[in-house]
Amino acid sequence: MGLLDGRTGIIFGVANKRSIAWAIAQALAGAGMRLAFTYQGDRLKENVTELAGTLPGSVIYPCDVASDAEVGAVFAGVARDLGRLDTLVHSVAFAQREDLEGDFVATSREGFRVAHDVSAYSLVGLVRAALPLLEKSDAASVIAMTYLGSERVAAGYNVMGVAKASLEASVRYLAANLGPKRVRVNAISAGPVNTLAARGVRGFTEMLKHHAEKAPLRRNVELREVGDTALFLASRMASGITGEVIYVDCGYSIMVL
């Protein structure tokens, strides 16, 4: 018997096999959870379809998280295909390249709006649309991905750090709002991982080296470790945890550097 046998989940944000979202998918599916996935645009459809095909019973839907209509269509599909929802994983973030490469003070109004809409507000929109399905679960869990740049200034992170701060605040407010409905909401703050999204951050290679040198464990976090933490949060072992940001970064966040 798997830890999550009979459970269902949906994962937003898989791009390829090196995605944090895919590491989470493997951990959840390995424990018995049946999963749904989304993809944005034809560019990612092939990758997501191929990966989802390796997990029996998986379903996929197109979704732009900035479109309420597409979000609604996704959960109509989940209701039809899965019937209920126990876990929602939000691993979605975006900022315009010029707003990551320049000075933060130069962030445009539109760049600020886009970063917050896709990276933070989307969590609220997804949870709201998913709520009728999550309420059918006796142990619903929402998991969002964040990074330490929400609390400290990280070179090249700029408006994304501000959006992640908004995301973490949204986690707390959602947790307080939905606790009476037996829906838990938490975030995982992972250390830097060599993903497609991370390569858009200026100086990322140097960031990896610095983290490995300064973290108490003297290494960078592995994708498997992030997936295992999500598995814990999705399971009954974390039934008393909500509104938290859990750091999975080999201890880097505790250091004064």
Q: How far is CA 28 from CA 13, 104, 196, 247, in A?
A: 15, 37, 22, 19
Q: Which residues contact 38 (CB under 8 A, 6 or more apart)?
A: 10, 11, 12, 48, 60, 61, 62, 63, 74
Confirm whether 147 is a catalytic residue: yes
In the set 39, 61, 121, 147, the catalytic residue is 147
Q: Cα separation of 132 and 62, whole Å?
A: 20
What is the DSSP code (8-state) at residue 19? -
Confirm whether 39 is a catalytic residue: no
Closest by CA position to 91, among listed 229, 238, 204: 229
Beta strands, E only, the chain: 8-12, 34-39, 59-62, 87-90, 140-146, 183-190, 245-248
Q: Cα separation of 88 and 73, whole Å?
A: 16
In the set 39, 61, 121, 157, the catalytic residue is 157
Residues acting as catalytic residues = 147, 157
